[in-house]
Structure formats: C-alpha cells, structure tokens
Chains A and B, each alone.
Chain A
C-alpha cells in the first residue's frame, strides 16, 4: 500500500488527487490508480508502460530505478510515492 501524490502541473490536464492505493510494486500501485482515472495513465507512462522520458517517480524519497516496467518494490505499508516532472525537456 502507498500514498500517491501527483505534480500540481498535471492537475491542470487531468484529475489526479492524492490517493491511497494497494500493491507491492510501483506498477501495481499506479495500476490501481489508473483503474479509477483511465486518462491519467497516458500522462505518466507511454503505451509500452514505460515512464515518460521527462517524468520522475520517487518512492519514499528514492528515485524509481526501473523506468521501463516500474517494478520497484513498495518498501512499507505507509510508503509515499511522488509522481513529478523531471527538470528536463519541456
């Protein structure tokens, strides 16, 4: 389980409130969120499920390692995931 937060800049385009979601990996947690907000998925990952080039995800302050499949484990029951823009691109 994890608490998931999204960058304010994303909220201009698509509904993405802070939410609590279940799962043992980042992919599983976000997959549950995307079930509730189907359009949100395409803003964060591409059609291959890879994290978009200029996005970054932190899990308890540690940057996501597996940008292709988002398989990084969720360390704790109260872990916090932050979905943010990288300071690149634009």
Chain B
C-alpha cells in the first residue's frame, strides 16, 4: 500500500499529516482531548482513536468517513468485581484495579478476519472485537492465567499490554508484550497462552528473578513482516533480537550512545535492518548530550550508525515513546514524534529528517496510512 499520510495521536488531539502536501498538518480532531492510540483498519478503512478523558474515563471512537466525523463505540470493560476473589496485588504490594485505565495499543486482526480489532490495555488486559468495536471480549484465558499476577507496572502505575503482533500468515498466531510482564504467545487464536522469551535479563530486580521471562520490562516488540520469526525488541535494559519468533533472545551489546529507549522499528522486508531512538537510562530519560539521534543497524545488530541530520541538539530533550516511531508498509518512510511535540519524517532510511512541527502537543502514537 502506498503511503498517503500519517495519523498522529497526541495529548491534545488527533492530527493528520498529508504526504502529498509535503507532510502539511491538517485540522485536528478531538482538539483538547487526550488521544492514547490510533488505528486505520486495513479491511474496513475505518479510523479508530482511543481517548483518555481523565475525569470521564477511557473511550473509543470510530470514523467511517475518512476522519470527517467520529462516533463513540463500545469500550473494553473488565469483568464484574468479585468481592470473594483474591485481589491482584503486584510485587510492589500495590492493588491493581479491575477497571479500564488506558487503551495503550490498537491493532487490526488478520486481513481474512473482517473488522477484527485487538486492544491492549492498562491494567494488563487483552481485548478483541470482531465487529469493528461495537462489542468487546476480554481474553479470559490470559486474564485468568495465574502467572499474569506477576506482572507489575513500569513507567505506568499498573502493568499494560503495549505490543500485539498478529502473524502475517497464520491469523491464529498472536504474540503480545507486557510492561512489565514479558512476552506471551498463543497459537490457537488466544484460547491458551505461553510465556516465552528466554535470554532477557532485568538487572534492576533481585538476582533470583532477573531472568524470569514473566517479569521482563519489554518496552516495545516488533517483527519483520516478510520474515515473521525475526523479531526485535527494546527492553528496559537494552536491545534484543530473536530469530525464532520470540522464544529465545540475544542481547545486542555496545550500542552508542545508549541502548536504552522505548521505540523500535524493523524493516518490513529486511530483518537485519532495524532502528532505535537512544536515550540515557534510566531515571533521566533524555537524549545523550541533549542531541536527538536515530540509530540504525543494517547487519542484524553487529554495528550501528547514528543519524542526526535534521534532528535537534544540543539542548534538545525530546523523548520518543514506544508507539511514536513508525515505518511505513513499504519500508521507505520513517516517522518519529516526541514528548515535546516535535514531529519528523525521513524518506531515506533515517539518514536525513524533515521537521513537520516542533509545536504539537506531546505525541503518543503515530500510524502511517
């Protein structure tokens, strides 16, 4: 699919940047409202936007007319509270609520599955809609898994599902990632789940649990579309690569200026090419030396090049969140949005960047369409 533009979910509205107009920004939708996730559904062409109204809760809206107007749909809901059930208390001793706090990511199902949508939420819910958002089902097999109770919040107070990967050839094959709760895989359309991901290490936890796959703080998980077993992830403690669909991971060492970050993108046809946005870990979370750079490897992580042409610094403190770094379907265009409202596009593999705006609200999520 040829890219026509970029949908931009921000703290204060949903924006669109048009490629044919040199990425010029159009009038926003939901101006003033907190947009946490956005999806252009490839089957129906509908646009979905998740809102976090704060006082008024989390909502989901849908447009079937190219963003001209939106209407509210159903919202994922957690099962009725059971006073007799043991409360979910995380390893920090915090009680996790059984009510929707945030829709953190939205993904379409396989092209053969109509208008199926997956939603990853905080706290720790995976939901599926088979009717374009008119109704939602909690994936109870995952929610009821006792291992799920090990999950805990990372940057957010409560654990959340931020990455959902549907296998491009096998619709029933789904892999998700949790912060903090590692990687989970289902090969039967979500009826059963396995916690996978040997090889990751969480050095910020006690040594006896540091290698437990079920507590890893994966920041973002992605896979190469043409070679789906080839995956990359940005972890709280570094960069990892898997060549067996996430079962085993090898850490990529010696990445300059840093291997910390939130975002990762992989080329859709070339699994050896991946991009990262390095930040200083971990309490700082700012670019090294105040310079925004994008790192790219073309050899599977053996070496990296840092690109800064068109990006700000020194004295630049843009942070790029996990859903605000995207590559288009052809692997030709990259887009990056920051917490300080900067938006950049690169049309040459990340080597040169064009500024679209330095004055948007904090950017949470980008989607090419």
Which residues of chain A have a CB within 8 Å of any CB of chain B? 9-10, 13-14, 39, 42-44, 46-48, 50, 52, 54-55, 85-86, 89-90
Whether the Cβ atoms of B54 and A89 lie closer than 8 Å is: yes
Contacts of A43 in B (CB 8 A): 53, 56-57
- Residue from the list B53, B72, B99 in contact with A46, Cβ < 8 A: B99
**Residue contact B57 to A42, C-beta cutoff 8 Å:** yes
The reply to whether B55 and A85 form a contact with Cβ atoms under 8 Å apart is yes
Which residues in B have their C-beta under 8 angstroms from that of A10?
56
Residues of B within 8 A of A14 (CB): 72
Map CB proximity to A onto B28-67 as digits: 1 under 8 Å, 0 otherwise.
0000000000000000000000000111110100000000
List, in ascending order, chain A residues with CB within 8 A of B77's CB. 47
Q: Which of A13, A47, A55 contacts B78 (CB 8 A)?
A: A47
A55 to B54, CA, bound (A): 10
A13: chain B residues at CB < 8 Å are: 53, 56, 59
CA gap between A63 and B56 in the complex, in Å: 18
* A50 interface neighbour in B54, B56, B99, Cβ under 8 Å: B99
Using A48-B98, A55-B56 as known contacts, list a sample of 18 further A-B pairs with CB atoms less than 8 Å apart, ordered by residue number in A: A10-B56, A14-B72, A39-B72, A42-B57, A42-B59, A43-B53, A46-B100, A47-B78, A47-B99, A47-B100, A48-B78, A48-B80, A48-B99, A50-B99, A52-B55, A52-B57, A86-B55, A90-B54
Binding site for A on B (CB under 8 A): 53-57, 59, 72, 75, 77-78, 80-81, 98-100
A-B contact pairs, 18 of them (CB 8 A): A10-B56, A13-B53, A13-B56, A39-B72, A43-B57, A46-B57, A46-B99, A46-B100, A47-B77, A47-B78, A47-B100, A48-B78, A48-B98, A48-B99, A50-B99, A54-B55, A55-B55, A90-B54
Minimal beta-carbon separation of B87 from chain A (angstroms): 13
A52-B98 contact given A47-B77, A47-B78, CB 8 Å threshold: no
Residue from the set A10, A14, A52, A55 with the largest chain B CB neighbour count within 10 Å:
A52
In the complex, residue of chain B having the shortest beta-carbon distance to the beta carbon of A84: B55
Q: Please, which residue of chain A has its CB at the minimum distance from the CB of B33?
A: A13
In Å, the complex CA distance between A48 and B81 comes to 6
Q: Which residues of B contact A48 (CB under 8 A)?
A: 78, 80-81, 98-99
CB distance from A9 to the nearest CB of B (A): 8
The 6 residue pairs across chains A and B that have the minimum distance between CB atoms: A47-B77, A46-B99, A43-B56, A54-B55, A48-B81, A85-B55
Q: Is the CB of A42 within 8 A of B55?
A: no
Minimum Cβ distance to chain B for residue A41 (Å)? 10
**A38: min CB distance to chain B, Å:** 10
Of A47, A85, A86, A89, most B-chain CB atoms within 10 Å: A47
Most chain A C-beta atoms within 10 Å of own C-beta, residue among B55, B72, B75, B99? B55
A44 and B53 alpha carbons, distance in the complex (Å): 11
Give chain B residues whose Cβ lies under 8 Å from the Cβ of A89: 54-55
- Cα distance, A55 to B57, chains bound together (Å): 10
Complex: how many Å from CA A9 to CA B56?
A: 10
Q: Is the CB of A42 within 8 A of B75?
A: yes
What's the minimum C-beta distance from B30 to chain A, rounded to whole angstroms?
10
* Docked-complex contact A54 and B54, CB < 8 angstroms: yes
